[in-house]
Structure 1
Amino acid sequence: MKKLSLVCSFLFMAFCSAKVVAQEAASQRAQNIFIELGGQGLTLTANYDSRFTNKRDGLGGRIGVGHISSDGSSVTTVPVSLNYLLGKERRYFEIGLGATYATATVDGSFLDFGGDDDGDDSGSTLIGTMSFAYRLQPMDSGFSFRAGITPIFGKDFFIPYYGGISLGYTF
């Protein structure tokens, strides 16, 4: 009888601790590292995204950096934004608002970097960004995917149908 009581106690404690571990894993905040083409980073960027609370959804933020150059022209971007995830389990709708700092040396750019009037557009600017995206992120850790519309705007332009796609890892 003493052995049966000991075994039952052990099984009960093991079950309770497994349940606590499972609840802790489900309540950990989602953190993502990802590469994005287009989107709020404008070019090809490496990014970090995290929730602000110990939940998989809700309010969070992201920061990234990107650089691209070709034929003497180059663009460096630093996207920073707040976002909110709506959904459950592993499928989410992302709504975000942010800004991207861009510095460039670009000939004939449609973005105004404050350059001179001969078409050489060198300098820096701050570009407003929005995000309306589908996000697939695992419950624990693993491959993540994002795709959506990311309108961009500045003092003299608005591009409503700019988009982006990203692949990454959630932990």
Structure 2
Amino acid sequence: MRMSRLALAALAALALAQGTPAAAQERSAPNSIFAEGLGPGLLYSINIERVFADDFGLRAGFSYMSFTAGLSSSTGGTVSSASVGWFSVPVVATYLGLRSGNNILELGAGGIYTHASGSATGGGMLATRAGDVLWGTAVLGYRRQPLNGGFMFRVGVSALAGKGLGFDAKDPEKAGVVPWPYLSLGASF
């Protein structure tokens, strides 16, 4: 059955009067940069993300930390020191299709490459060690991100999964999962 031109015109006028549905709006700001506390970057990370096809995002980040401690003894003049440093690179793909305007339910999965190294000296001896690890991550959270650019806010929980993780991780070869919250602030452009 064909609709009359009058009925089609009425439907078009009603749609215009109500505005364009949020799901039908196109994103004009597909890029974002943000700082994240905790999350897949472990303690913090600086991230860049690109949204493709309006519903899928791909982000990469970087985090680096270094700590040094020294201790000197007044008897014998020995000096002991220790240092540790690590960096991590989280890469996460997200699904952003469940949204209402600027409010988005964020679902994602990815991986985290981490390199750690440490050294210690004392009593005339030096010990060093370094290692790499690859963990998995899953993300579930809320995101407020304007479609046309501006301030971006994210909050949620990520799950870190891999060897040596877990609340009872006494065995470094045993795989486990740790829930890890995150909070991000940034901008879309």
TM-score normalised to the size of structure 1?
0.71
The aligned counterpart of 1:154 is 162
The aligned counterpart of 2:166 is none
Distance change in 2, residues 1:103/1:97 (3 Å): same
Select the residue among 86, 89, 97 that pairs with 2:101.
89
Give the structure with the higher percent helix: 1
8 Å Cα contact 1:43/1:77 also seen in 2: no
Residues 31-58 of structure 1: CA deviation (Å, up to 9, x unaligned):
11001111111121110111112x2xx1
8 Å Cα contact 1:151/1:158 also seen in 2: no
Question: Identity across aligned pairs (percent)?
Answer: 32
Give the structure with the higher percent strand: 2
Aligned partner letter, 1:31 = N
TM-score normalised to the size of structure 2?
0.64
Aligned partner letter, 1:32 = S
Aligned partner letter, 2:90 = P
8 Å Cα contact 1:29/1:50 also seen in 2: no
Structure 1 residues not aligned, in runs of 5+:
1-24, 108-119
The aligned counterpart of 2:45 is 45
Select the residue among 54, 59, 62 that pairs with 1:62.
59
Q: Which has the larger radius of gyration?
A: 2
2:112 is the alignment partner of 1:127? no
Matched ranges for 1:1-171 at <5 A? 26-28=26-28, 30-53=30-53, 55=54, 58-71=55-68, 72-85=83-96, 86-105=98-117, 122-155=130-163, 156-171=174-189
Question: Structure 1 CA distance, aligned partners of 2:27 and 2:45?
Answer: 29
Aligned partner letter, 1:170 = S
Question: SS where residue 140 of structure 1 aligns?
Answer: coil
Q: Please state how far the C-alpha of 1:106 moved relative to its aligned partner.
A: 5.3
